[in-house]
Amino acid sequence: MNKHENYMKRCLELAEMGAGTVSPNPMVGAVIVHQDRIIGEGYTSPYGGAHAEVNAIQQVIDTYGEEAESMLKAAEIYVSLEPCAHFGKTPPCANLLVKHQLQKVYIACLDPFAKVNGQGVKILQDGGLDVEIGILEEEAKWVNRRFFTKLSQFRPYVILKWAETADRYFAPLDAAQSWISNEASKQLVHKWRAEEDAILVGTATALIDNPSLTVRLWKGRNPKRILIDKNLDVPAEAHILNDEAETFIFNADKADWQASNKYIALENFDLYLPQQLLYQLYLMDIQSILIEGGVKTLQRFIDAGLWDEARVFQSPQTWGAGVPSPTFHGEQLQRIKVSTDTLTTYKRI
């Protein structure tokens, strides 16, 4: 890995520090290098706040005071995504880089958002800055896979999650609640919840497990909760309907917004349900969703081809009988141990 890739790798590490706070913006990291030494770093602030480039430049100014301006003019900046070119919650970052006249801008990949795509590069080049694109491009696209999926497919990025026994059983035959994964895996799932915009379950999971779907075991914000409950069978006292997080209840009959609970009635409920639901969430600016439902719910999205990642915990315990795990075809990306469990991550092929 050469020095340019090393600096860009640092940008990607910084970008991921914004996970769970920047949506619907992309996660971006920026590194400013002067005479082969990093003098400023930044990543995108929580939504509505300063972008990565702004934070990196501000760090240089705060650190070097009167010397900052001359140092920036002799410096290079590495950015994991094309600097923005439009006025949104903040001014365009491309204009800021032109203002400080950095020597060169290294960009991992272009921003597919219509108001930016190529326009940020044009502003930089028109402003006299040298620009190079494509360092760790695929890695950068992976970091922002949620953002890219939302823009290209008009739906949230979908992550499936479940736990199964060593003999691939998902739940007991009697539908009783039964924990398969260990405590470390459970904590990791709470971390994932904090990183995604929303989490989804169906009626059966809400009734059997009575989950809160919050991040009790991790520091972070609770995701929006999505409940598929066609006939509104989940009682009002269920944990998923408490006021700890905003909950959207997709059903066949009721349309009503009550404080933290929003009831959304879908016409022809069973017709293309995953497609209907994901498009509604897209319209709500939800960029990613973690599906933790039962086999029926998970299989619905799998059969519709509407998933991007599957994260499967396998316990060493065996049952000999039970409800089989969902069936799917995916490319294995990673397999790691989480205490006694094995976590395998797949992507859709």
In the annotated binding site for NADP(+), the residues are 163, 179, 205, 209
| Distance from C-alpha of 82 to C-alpha of 116, rounded to nearest angstrom | 8
Binding residues for Zn(2+): 51, 84, 93
| Distance from C-alpha of 328 to C-alpha of 303, rounded to nearest angstrom | 8
| Distance from C-alpha of 227 to C-alpha of 114, rounded to nearest angstrom | 32
Which position among 5, 41, 53, 195 bears the catalytic label? Answer: 53
Beta strand 288-291 with 198-202: parallel, antiparallel or unpaired? parallel
| Distance from C-alpha of 156 to C-alpha of 173, rounded to nearest angstrom | 32
The letter for the amino acid at 60 is V
- Cα torsion angle, 236, 237, 243, 247, sign: negative
The letter for the amino acid at 175 is A
53 is catalytic: yes
Going by C-beta distance under 8 Å and a sequence separation of 6 or more, which residues neighbour residue 70? Answer: none
Cβ atoms 77, 100 nearer than 8 A: no
Whether cis (ω within 30° of 0) applies to the bond prior to 235 is no
Cβ atoms 206, 232 nearer than 8 A: no
Alpha-carbon separation of residue 227 from 53, 101, 138, 196, 239 (angstroms): 38, 50, 34, 16, 12
Going by C-beta distance under 8 Å and a sequence separation of 6 or more, which residues neighbour residue 53? Answer: 28, 30, 42, 77, 79, 83, 93, 96, 97
Q: Could you tell me which of 83, 71, 78 has the C-alpha nearest to residue 14?
A: 78
Cβ atoms 15, 143 nearer than 8 A: yes
| Distance from C-alpha of 324 to C-alpha of 39, rounded to nearest angstrom | 54
| Distance from C-alpha of 163 to C-alpha of 196, rounded to nearest angstrom | 19
Binding residues: 51, 84, 93, 163, 179, 193, 205, 209, 213, 216, 292
Binding residues for substrate: 193, 213, 216, 292
What are the catalytic residues? 53
